[in-house]
Amino acid sequence: MTIGNVLSRLITGTSWHFAAEISRLAVIVASFMGISYAARKGRHISMSALFDISPKPVKKVLSIINPFITALVLFTVGYFAVLYTYGIYETGRTTAALEFPFWLMVVAIPVGCFIGGIQFLRNMWTNIVHKEVYIAEEKIDYDEQ
């Protein structure tokens, strides 16, 4: 879209005022819908220094507690995100240039948080059922790296 903005400005001398809005929408959707996918692929950034040097039983406990609390936090934020989105829906606020409903812009946040929370619960379940320490699909334990 940004590319299109430049091209159209170069060619016709006018610009797409909604480019910024579309880009913003894309960023919000990608950021929050990505929570779950990054959780599955183990791509969330964490400071794993202490975790890495912990003995295996500690690791095992953390590998169950951490995804559980993470899911809890995501569900809480997701709940408030529902309220926020509904509040926006009620005021009927629209975006400045395209004038489409602003709630469509932010609805990805509650959805993303809930799907992300479910993914972390799945990670927790895998750790309860299996013996080895499971972090994510592509990361069984940092030791393996």
Partner 1 sequence: MVWTLLGIMVILLLMGFPMMIPLIAGPLIIILFYMDNLDPTIMVQQMVEGISSYVLIAVPLFIFAADIMTSGRTSRKLLDFVGSFVGHLRGGYAITTAAACTLFGSISGSTQATVVAIGKPMRERLLKVGYKDSSAIALIINSSDVALLIPPSIGMIIYALVSDASVGDLFIAGIGPGVLIFIFFASYAYIHAKVYDIPLAPKVPWKERGDIFLKALLPLGFPVIIIGGIYTGQFTPTEAAGISVLYAFVLEVLIFRSIKLKEIPNIALSSGIVTSAVFVLVAGGQAFSWVISFARIPQMLTDAVLGNDPSALYILFIVALFFFIGCMFVDPIVVILILTPIFAPVATMAGVDPIHLGVVIVFQAALGSATPPFGVDIFTASAVFNKSYLDVIRGTPPYIVMLLIVSVLVIVFEDISLFLLRLF
Partner 2 sequence: GNDETGDNENGNGEAEHNWRFTVEETQGQVQYVYAQEFAELVEEKSDGAINIDVFEFGALGSEVDQVEQLQQGIVEFAIISPGFTGTLVPEGNIFALQFLFDDDQELNQQVLNESEAINTHLAQKYEEQSIMPLAFWTEGAMQWTGSSAIQSPADFAGFQMRTQESPLILRSYEAYGANPTAMSWSELYTGLQQGAVDGQENPLFFIEDAGFHEVQDHLTISNHNMYVTMTTVNTDFYNDLDEETQSIIDEAIEEMRDRSFEIQEEQNGEALELIENATDTPTDVYELSEDEREEFRELASEARDYFRENGGDDAEMILDMLMEEIEEAQGN
Which residue lies nearer to partner 2 by CB, 93 or 130?
93
Q: Which residues lie closer than 8 Å to 24 by C-beta, 6 or more apart?
A: 105
| Residue choice 32, 102, 114, 120 for contact with partner 2 (CB under 8 A) | 102
3-class SS of residue 138: coil
Whole-number Å distance between alpha carbons of 42 and 119: 11
**Residue 99 binding result from partner 1, partner 2, none, given CB thresholds of 5 to 8 Å by partner type:** partner 2
| Residue choice 3, 10, 11, 14 for contact with partner 2 (CB under 8 A) | 14
Torsion from C-alpha of 11, 17, 21, 24, nearest 10 degrees: 50
Whole-number Å distance between alpha carbons of 60 and 14: 59
**Residue 96 binding result from partner 1, partner 2, none, given CB thresholds of 5 to 8 Å by partner type:** partner 2
Q: Which residues lie closer than 8 Å to 2 by C-beta, 6 or more apart?
A: 19, 23
CB of 13 to partner 2, least distance (A): 5
Stretch that binds partner 2, among 11-19, 28-36, 64-72, 119-127 (CB under 8 A): 11-19
Which residue lies nearer to partner 2 by CB, 41 or 93?
93
| Residue choice 99, 130, 132, 137 for contact with partner 2 (CB under 8 A) | 99
Q: Considering only CA atoms, which of 83, 84, 69, 77 is closest in space to residue 121?
A: 69
User: Where do contacts with partner 2 occur on this chain (CB under 8 A)?
Assistant: 9, 13-15, 17, 20, 91-97, 99, 102
